[in-house]
Structure 1
Amino acid sequence: MHTRDLHPTDLQLARLAVRDDAAFEALVNRHAAGVHRLAAAMVGPGAADDVVQDVFIAVHRGLKGFRGEAAFSTWLHRITLNACHKALRGKGHPTVPLSDTPGLAAPHDPVHAGEQADLRVRLAQALHSLPADQREAVSLRELSGLDYAEIAEVTGAELGTVKSRINRGRAALRAYLTKMEITP
């Protein structure tokens, strides 16, 4: 990369990454956390790391064919969803019970850490209780921050279908959490 390209776009990095490991590393650093969040929501935290690895292997292999007709993030999300679906179909990605996920709270506050871990487990259970199409749409919206049109492009669904899936998914999550006595 040139010094004038201090903040290259994803498309610029993708084109450079075909032959430049530093550009590919920049793409990975820029998108790995988001890919991991989406994978964890779709396949569970225990399988997310393997899915992320599969995603970036597929991205690296596919960069030569990426023409930039769609946004890089759209292409990346589609690859992520494909890897998640593959992981859910196969047995190559062991899952870790949700109760084994690490806490977010500081270790010096074990009560708060325990409450946070419990809430995270319940939220993950609620998300996994949704049908796959709703979980996918809600995850892309709430975890990846995509707008409805981007979700439609990534999933290949009509815009109205995306809106419906998200609304039904949110309602189901609200009902599930209310049943578990968690105020959504």
Structure 2
Amino acid sequence: MSEPPLPAWPASAAALPDLDDAALVRLAARDERAFEALVTRHAPAVHRLAASMVGPGAADDVVQDVFISVHRGLRGFRGEASFSTWLHRIALNACTRALRARPSVPLDEAPEPHSPHDPARTGEQAQLRARLAAALQTLPPEQREALTLREIAGLDYAEIASVTGAELGTVKSRINRGRAALRTWLTRAGITP
């Protein structure tokens, strides 16, 4: 089976956001603007995923590592899975490496950005995020990974199964068990889930 033909190069870089991921991936092999369009499209989601797993303080470094890895591996990307699935797997691997490299840095101690609008609410939200981060760290890695992909990255169960290599039923079970464990932990911490 032959690879689909490369799309015609858009007359301007402004047309790049209109292309789907598959077309951008094929174009990125010959032009950095297409790669930049992929980064622009996916960096916010990768950052949310990284911040939830390694903390906001380390998320920027993880995102940089992810897109360096993507850039290096793009020519070898075969398209057997969607680009998003491949990207999330790379992001999870980068998060795991970051957690192993700095196991003594708790997620809940990372500084939160300050909001000039409502300092009291910002403090409450930071405290809640810190508790949620601490609760997530109590989960087994497989549950934390599946739950983060579902709740933070917004992937559906089949996509999570593809990213993690687990069976669909296993993914559902991990998410359900993770949610139950989080609910119990948060209730014990005095937070109504």
Offset of 1:45 from its aligned partner? 2.1
Q: 2:111 aligns with which of 92, 98, 101?
A: 101
| Consecutive unaligned residues in structure 1, runs of 5 or more | none
Is residue 46 of structure 1 aligned with residue 57 of structure 2? yes
Instruction: Identify the residue that residue 122 of structure 1 maps to in structure 2.
Output: 131
**Which of 68, 78, 87 is residue 76 of structure 1 equivalent to?**
87
- Residue ranges of structure 2 left out of the alignment (5+ in a row): 1-8
TM-score normalised by L of structure 2 = 0.87
Structure 2 residue aligned with 1:28, among 35, 39, 42? 39
Matched pairs, number: 182
Residue equivalent to 1:67: 78
**Alignment pair present for 1:2 and 2:10:** yes
Shift of 1:144: 0.7
Query: Equivalent residue for 1:146?
Result: 155
Q: 1:58 aligns with which of 49, 57, 69?
A: 69
2:150–2:157 contact (8 Å) kept in structure 1? yes
Alignment of 1:15 onto 2:15? no
Q: CA RMSD in A?
A: 1.9
Aligned to 2:4: none
Structure-2 change in CA distance of 1:171 and 1:12 (3 Å): same
What residue is the counterpart of 1:176 in the other structure?
Answer: 185
Identify if the C-alpha distance between structure 1 residues 50 and 6 changes in structure 2 by more than 3 Å, giving closer, same or farther: closer
Provide, for residues 122-154 of structure 1, a one-character-per-residue CA deviation record: whole Å limited to 9, x for no partner. 111111211110000000000111111110110
Contact 1:46–1:96 (CA under 8 A) maintained in structure 2: no
State the TM-score, normalized to the length of structure 1: 0.91
2: CA distance, partners of 1:103 / 1:29: 22
Deviation beyond 6 Å, 4+ runs, structure 1: none
Q: What secondary structure does 2:166 align onto?
A: coil
Provide closer, same or farther for how the CA distance between residues 129 and 94 of structure 1 changes in structure 2, counting only shifts above 3 A. Answer: closer
